[in-house]
Structure 1
Amino acid sequence: MAKNTYRTPKVKAEIRQKRKSRLRMFIDNVIGFDHLFGEGDNAWPIRNIERILWITVLMTVYVGLNHNAERLVRQIQQTKTSVDELRAKYTTLEADFMKSGKQSELSKRVAPLGLTDGQTPPRKIIVKSDE
């Protein structure tokens, strides 16, 4: 009968090394950097391809965030300009409205209709309570 033995678990470092070597082998087979960078100690880009790709991704994200921030600053500036214009328009309209409510302005507008202000002062009507 066969003897029972325990399996030795693979070390995580070995698994990581296999993944890295798979990526390097894939890039080397597909792109063929051997003739550009050599083999062994001269192949530093192949050994550091993960770091190079990571830095490239980080730089791309940084540039994208920078563009987004600049776009937001432009939008904020446009909104501030728009608010200032609307505030000025509101102030002008409010002043015109308040001016149009004055008695002198009303009498000017109703004069073409034939309505005029009374020249005599108003009279007080007194009603006796016992009548």
Structure 2
Amino acid sequence: MEYKERKRVLFFGLPWTFTKYMVTEDLITIDEGILKKVENDCYMYKVQDVTLNNSLLERIFGLGTVVCHTGDTTHPKLELVHIKNAREIKDYILVASEQARMKRRTMNMLDIGAGDDFDLPDDR
């Protein structure tokens, strides 16, 4: 399964921007620009959490913003801004990222900093 979307202008939800998003089962790609093209990829197994944001105007025009919190060094917070079918894409990314982690046999660990410096009571 593959999703192709364009970043849209919030007013009327028209695709007048030069940003394209492509979500596949293995990869999320953001392609930006017209004169200077920038293409950024993130492997699906690096996606740790996904959030859907809908402002009032986005809801009026049937849009949403999907925020992917990733372990990627270049884009730790990957945003798919003002896209249609945002809830469907968010749900797809959640399922596909979990399947990609299982396929690669990886797991996400949360570093809470407990091992850095904690005080033990002195038994003196």
Task: Assess same fold via TM > 0.5.
Answer: no
Larger strand share, 1 or 2:
2
> TM-score when scaled to structure 2?
0.21
- Bigger share in helix: 1
- TM-score with structure 1 setting the length: 0.20
